[in-house]
Amino acid sequence: MCFFYPDCRKKEGSALLKLEHIEKSFGEKRVLSDVSLLVPEGTAASLSGMSGSGKTTLLRIAAGLERPDAGVVQADGKVAVVFAEPRLFDSARVLENVTCVMSGEGKEKEEKARELLAALEIGDAARLRPRELSSGMAARVSLARALAYNADVYLLDEPFKSLDGELKRRVMAYLTSFFTGKTVLFITHDESEAAFLAAKRFYLSEGTLSEFYEKQNL
């Protein structure tokens, strides 16, 4: 599995995100029980469930940040993760927080980063420090940084929870376009987010996964 390494290459014809028979316990508490999940290449899928059902643990396992007790994870290509809480570099300005994951020349990187920030409606915040941002602005900077990495697989933990109303709808509309051809798994508690973005929808309950929706091509 590849995680934030630019020389990783996806395998031709492979399903870019596949988890098979995942088991995970913390002490005596079983969090995930024989969980298998397939997100085909170029598909966006949502993962929902009650708080404490194991969603974030499953996402961390998919990202290679948590080791399962048993099971297999396949996530070929470049993988980017957006955490539920923004993890920005406090000493760096917003623009630098985005360009730090990008390759290329300085000016080229800055221009692309500014385009992403503008698309997420935080272009005016490029020179600010993280401590000067609202929670919604910080969440969008974290998202912009992940988009700047230009990954093949995106794993997102409640990326819209700090956004409201029309702003959230505009950001989701932009991501619908950006994620074309990408493989995406995102955690959400919001039915409208899942309906807007996801072609497949999974539900996790007491460590057991079920798939309850798959959009059919007409």
Q: How confident is the model at residue 177, as a pLDDT?
A: 95
First-last CA distance in the chain = 34
Q: In a 3-state reduction of DSSP, which class is residue 163?
A: coil
How far apart are the C-alpha atoms of 48 and 111, rounded to whole Å? Answer: 36
Q: How confident is the model at residue 216, as a pLDDT?
A: 59
Q: What is the pLDDT along the chain (218 residues), one digit of tens a residue?
A: 333 333 344 554 444 899 999 999 999 999 999 999 999 999 999 999 999 899 999 999 999 999 999 999 999 889 999 999 999 999 999 999 999 999 888 899 999 999 999 999 999 999 999 999 999 999 999 999 999 999 999 999 999 999 989 999 999 999 999 999 999 999 999 999 999 999 999 999 989 999 876 765 43
Q: Which CATH number applies to 1-78+151-218: 3.40.50.300, 3.40.50.2300, 3.30.428.10, 3.30.460.10? A: 3.40.50.300
Q: How confident is the model at residue 17, as a pLDDT?
A: 96
- Report the 10 Å Cβ neighbour count for 3: 17
Residue 46 near residue 186 (C-beta atoms within 8 A): yes
Quick one: angle between helices 165-178 and 135-148, nearest 10?
A: 0
Q: How confident is the model at residue 1, as a pLDDT?
A: 33
**Helix/strand/coil percent split, the chain, to 5:** 30, 25, 40
Q: How confident is the model at residue 212, as a pLDDT?
A: 75
The pTM (predicted TM-score) of the whole model is 0.89
Give phi and psi for 212, each to the nearest 5. Answer: -120, 5
Q: List the structure tokens of 63.
A: 């990202």
Q: How confident is the model at residue 4, as a pLDDT?
A: 38
Q: How confident is the model at residue 5, as a pLDDT?
A: 33
Phi-psi sector, 13: left (phi>0), alpha (psi -120 to 50), beta: left
DSSP codes, 66-88: S--SEEEEE--S-EEEE-SS---
Residue extents of the structural domains in the chain: 1-78+151-218, 88-150
Q: How confident is the model at residue 104, as a pLDDT?
A: 82
